[in-house]
Structure 1
Amino acid sequence: MVDKKERKIVVSKPQQLAKESDSDSEEAYKAPNLLQRLLSLFKNVRPGSDLTSFQLPPQFNLPKSQLQCYGESVYCTASDMLSICNRGQSPLDRFISVVSWCISANTSRIFGVAPYNPILGETHHVSKGNLNVLLEQVSHHPPVTALHATDQKENIEIIWCQRPVPKFYGTSVEAQVHGKRELKLLNHGETYEMNCPHLLFRILPIPGADWVGTVDIRCLETGLVAELTYKSSHSFLGLGGNHKVIKGKILDSSSLKVLYEIDGHWDRIVKLKDRKNGKVRVIYDATEVISGLKAPILKDEECVWPTESVHVWSELSQAIMNKDWEKAREEKQVVEGEKRELVRERESKDENWIPKHFVVSYSKEVGWNCSPIHQCVSAAPIIAL
């Protein structure tokens, strides 16, 4: 891998609410003649094909790695939703706050452009306030990403291990995200387990991106469970319909009694209705939580690891932001060439690659499991604002 001093580190803005009027949004990175280009891109791909190893031209890339997108799901909120989870007075208060935080982790995606596929061993290390977040690409075939985040002041820990499986279905691409997410409120001795909805990119008849599928959230200690359904209904030819809908319920798993109903739009307002007294209140406002976000800053450039996403992809990201597509193609080939060379070196020495920050295991029954090697994540040289 190229010495980090030879590359200028480039940090891009986090993904925010998609608004057509926002000229400073990442919509600026979309490729020209987008629909025509997408159709030509997938013309030789069979419906149902796994796109895990599919390589996009740089015109279709966001100027950031998938590791950064996963990390932003945790640290890019305008309000400190994790602290709110920890400070709930009762188990039910905390559970409702966790549901709100879980919704915030699934933000808008931009149709037609995608982040880079992380290289093996790539890392992303960021701090926001007292929350320190570390991601590592622990497998390349299949692609598996591990995340560990800790807030020692609030005594909170997050552990994710996930494997995206994008598939092409003729008029759409659906990215299924397999794996378990855990949020631990250690002061209360509570562990919350949850999964991730699927990300659907519709190509025809009307291009767009949406979250779909079911998310289950459960607290192992209290028995509280939430069932959330993300869906996007469309009328004939894709016109009209109700978009970005989220519906669900919170129930006590011991009695199966429904306590609350959840209804709204995950990119706008989500409301909670008390089944006992009929009272309704807002538990999530996307405009308040995911807007006005700024690019992280480099606190100490010398301490940025050579494996850090913003270092590995810096030249490519700069070329994309400059819309210098020839330079972007060259830089993408450089990174991919370095990756192939490292693979050849390991194979020649008959060496297996071992993750640096996680212990990784796999079984058919459980799937992939990623356990952090260190109890706490250290402060990072990259600071999210």
Structure 2
Amino acid sequence: METKIVLARPFSLESESDPDANYKAPNILRRILSLFSNVRPGSDVSCFKLPPVFNMPKSELQCYGECVYSTALDMLSNINRGNTPLDRLISVVAWSISTVRPLWFGVAPYNPTLGETHHVSKGNLNVLLEQVSHHPPVSALHATDDKENIEMIWCHSTVPKFTGTSVEAHVHGKRQLKLHNHGETYEMNAPNLLIRIFPIPGNDNVGDVSIRCLETNLVAELSYISQSFFRFGTNRRQIKGKIIDSLSAKLLYKIEGHWDSTVTVKNTDNAEVRVIYDANEVISGLQAPIVMDPESVWPTETTLVWSELSQAIVNKDWEKATEAKKTVEERQRELQRERESKGKTWIPKHFRVSYSKEEGWDCSPIQKSVPNAPIVTL
């Protein structure tokens, strides 16, 4: 089983210039233009079927997981060590920024299959993801660190839309970070992903992110700023924001920087400025996870589900990749037909899932704690 699993390197600060991470077929921009030639602006492209030449060797589920377990520093422990609620919120802001990673232009992860999972451990942090819905695509994440008494719960639904010159993937759903030792829960959203095709191809994270501590009423507001249409100016991967006390509306800190370099906070009382995030220290030199116990890897593990396709993409064997992708997709259609013939509704294994028009998707983990995983990262 171990030889079948393909674990690609995580997104890191070096991703864009890493030759080992370049899985794109030749003439990728021309292929992209051809792909979207008949797509109308405003169209939802979440169900758009991409040929393998547009895929990277990993699913979106793995990408979400990497945001949590692939860091060079233990930022979660640093949050726990904060002496005051304000100290901890500032550390949560830095951790939230660390979940934003440079992506490869021209390729996208696989759309996870229904029930697909990703289970990885890093030290005492155990991370579990499950694809709880396929149409629309909804991914759930549960992570626990029993030593630090920290818990994470995410529920994400991504809706990509074609604008005519770009694709903007709107990320719906909330993230919760719970510090049980401090009795604090932080709720936040995620920035959207902008994939610009014209006039200069590239990726940006854009939009507003709000981070709120439910118990202390401290709030951080961040804006991920897109570059100008022609990439003029210095706002590449820029972040601006503030931290306020929502009860008094007092401005406590100003936030400024670039998520792929450094981010600072400025104290509004004494004008002191300090660095709270350094991307070079946090998301550089990251390595792919390794399989420690092949026999314990679940059949639903994303790196196993897509193993043949991932290996074909790494080898740039596009004919084999096409067949491998068809095999996975046809298997999913067979399972769907089988459920329908028996009148069964698919139920997630690891999460309770609900949806309301007002609140959107909600994913609640069934188990209190995530177990150790057979796949680990250092």
What TM-score, normalized to structure 2?
Answer: 0.98
Residue 18 of structure 1: how far off its partner (Å): 4.2
Query: In the alignment, which of 153, 159, 173 is matched to residue 167 of structure 2?
Result: 173
CA 1:136–1:273 in 2, change beyond 3 Å: closer, same or farther?
A: same
Contact 1:232 / 1:245 at 8 angstroms: preserved in 2? yes
256-265 or 29-38, larger mean C-alpha shift: 29-38
Contact 1:7 / 1:311 at 8 angstroms: preserved in 2? no
Counterpart position of 1:249: 242
Partner amino acid, structure 2, of 1:324: D
Counterpart position of 2:19: 23
1:57 and 2:57 aligned: no
Query: In the alignment, which of 152, 156, 159 is matched to residue 162 of structure 1?
Result: 156
1:149 and 2:143 aligned: yes
Counterpart position of 2:7: 11
User: CA offsets, 1:50-99, max 9 Å, x none?
Assistant: 01100111111110010000000111100000010111111111110000
1:351 and 2:355 aligned: no
* Inter-partner Cα distance in structure 1 for 2:364 and 2:244: 30
Counterpart position of 2:64: 70
Contact 2:208 / 2:221 at 8 angstroms: preserved in 1? yes
* Inter-partner Cα distance in structure 2 for 1:32 and 1:148: 38
Summarize the alignment of residues 78-227 of structure 1 with structure 2, pairs less than 5 Å apart.
78-227=72-221
Counterpart position of 1:327: 320
Contact 2:25 / 2:316 at 8 angstroms: preserved in 1? no
Contact 1:63 / 1:115 at 8 angstroms: preserved in 2? yes
Query: In the alignment, which of 304, 311, 314 is matched to residue 318 of structure 1?
Result: 311
* Inter-partner Cα distance in structure 2 for 1:9 and 1:110: 22
Q: Which aligned runs of 4 or more in structure 1 are off by greater than 2 angstroms?
A: 18-24, 237-242
Residue 23 of structure 1: how far off its partner (Å): 2.5
User: CA offsets, 1:143-190, max 9 Å, x none?
Assistant: 101100000000000000110000000100000000010000000000
Partner amino acid, structure 2, of 1:170: G
User: CA offsets, 1:209-257, max 9 Å, x none?
Assistant: 010000000001011000000012326x344552101000001001110
* Inter-partner Cα distance in structure 1 for 2:133 and 2:302: 15
Counterpart position of 2:262: 269
Q: How many residues are paired up?
A: 378
Contact 1:223 / 1:252 at 8 angstroms: preserved in 2? yes
3-state DSSP of counterpart to 1:49: coil
Unpaired stretches in structure 1, ≥5 consecutive residues: none
* Inter-partner Cα distance in structure 1 for 2:150 and 2:222: 23
Contact 2:173 / 2:360 at 8 angstroms: preserved in 1? yes
Contact 1:18 / 1:110 at 8 angstroms: preserved in 2? no
Contact 2:15 / 2:104 at 8 angstroms: preserved in 1? no
What TM-score, normalized to structure 1?
Answer: 0.96
* Inter-partner Cα distance in structure 2 for 1:198 and 1:278: 31
Contact 2:14 / 2:284 at 8 angstroms: preserved in 1? no
3-state DSSP of counterpart to 2:248: coil
* Inter-partner Cα distance in structure 2 for 1:19 and 1:376: 32
RMSD of aligned residue pairs (Cα, Å): 1.2
Residue 31 of structure 1: how far off its partner (Å): 2.6
* Inter-partner Cα distance in structure 1 for 2:117 and 2:2: 19
3-state DSSP of counterpart to 1:165: strand
Contact 1:224 / 1:251 at 8 angstroms: preserved in 2? yes
* Inter-partner Cα distance in structure 2 for 1:151 and 1:352: 33
3-state DSSP of counterpart to 2:96: helix
* Inter-partner Cα distance in structure 1 for 2:306 and 2:202: 27
User: CA offsets, 1:112-138, max 9 Å, x none?
Assistant: 110000000000000000000000000
3-state DSSP of counterpart to 2:64: helix
